[in-house]
Amino acid sequence: MHRRNLLTSAFALGAYTTPLSRWLAVPEDPDASHPGSRRVGRQDLDALWDAAAHAQRQDSRYGGGTREASQVGRILRERAIPLLHGGYTDAVGRELYAGTAELARVAGWSALDMGHHALAQRHFIQALRMAKAAGSMNVGCHVLTNLALQTTLRGYPDAAVDMAQGAFDRARHKAAPRVLAFAKLIEARAHARLGDRRAAAAALADSERLLERADTAPGPEPSWIRYYTPARMSADAVEIHRDLNLPAAALRWNEQATPMSATDFTRSVGLRMTLVATAHIQRGELDRALADGQRAIIILSSVRSARAAGYLTDVVRAMAPRRRDPRVAGFSQRAHQAIVLSTTRTS
């Protein structure tokens, strides 16, 4: 594990089979200590967590194609991996592995956001192995949930359901409620892609209950999961109900998602506006769809994200039956310009 390099290959769902099975079977290594001349201390650990948190904020605001977001892979290779060769106790080692897992997860998410799914997969596999070394149910559950989300986005929602359920069931007695709530949210998203309204509703309700428990009876929880708030859950619920062709429900959830700041969560808010636009199209409300679609273009203009481009493309496709309308033609042209810009990585 210390010598493993980040390799690239084509995305393959089967590549997740062994890492997933190993974590579900034995999620904790017995000892995380390591001998070495260079002692790893508190300052090293804090620097790793700070780097991961900063990269996640940059990714949320500007997308995975920005220079700062994309640099997390370099930080992982040049700062985190060398520390694994140092000397540390079991307690320090477990936190070191946890911090490295979070860096690898953020690197994977940034790669995924720009459509580099093979690289994202390698980062996620590394993150899950690091989580096992850390012996952290919180980290392992969260990483596996990210694997499930990528699997959903790659078109395998049935496998993603199994992943999300496995993450939840293995960690349900040890992980923080907010971490478990996120696993249930991603399960709901996978069910929605399968068109299973009942299962999606049940998983979303479980996520809502766990999130309420986390907010009303707070206990120890990792700082990196605090982004998952009721507003964030509502934003994802918009997509869940859009995918289920329930536009009225999608629009109701959108009202609860408005507290999310477009300054701090630029990409998420922009993506949500594309979903709202498509929900209006499902209801036959072209004027409102055009207004929300235009707002999405404005918000996403500062984001570098292949996912953002994909969501904008979905809006254009949904409006295709009305393409002879001059307003739709104008919107499509502006959207295509934004799509080109979104997929251009900043230097």
**Chain-centre distance for alpha carbon 17:** 20
| Cα 319 from Cα 316, distance rounded (Å) | 5
CB atoms within 10 A of CB 14: 7
Residue-level pLDDT at 345: 62
| Cα 308 from Cα 313, distance rounded (Å) | 9
**152 class by beta-carbon count within 10 Å (0-12 exposed, 13-18 middle, 19+ buried):** buried
Predicted TM-score (pTM) of this structure: 0.92
Q: Give the CB-side neighbour count of residue 77, counting CA atoms within 13 A.
A: 10
Take residue 34 and report the two structure tokens written for it: 């390591």
Residue-level pLDDT at 346: 59
Paired with 87 in beta bridges are 39
**168 class by beta-carbon count within 10 Å (0-12 exposed, 13-18 middle, 19+ buried):** buried
Residue-level pLDDT at 249: 98
Residue-level pLDDT at 207: 98
Average pLDDT along the chain, 347 residues, taken 10 residues at a time: 37 86 92 94 94 89 79 88 95 96 94 92 96 96 97 96 97 97 98 98 98 90 95 98 98 95 92 98 97 96 93 96 95 95 71
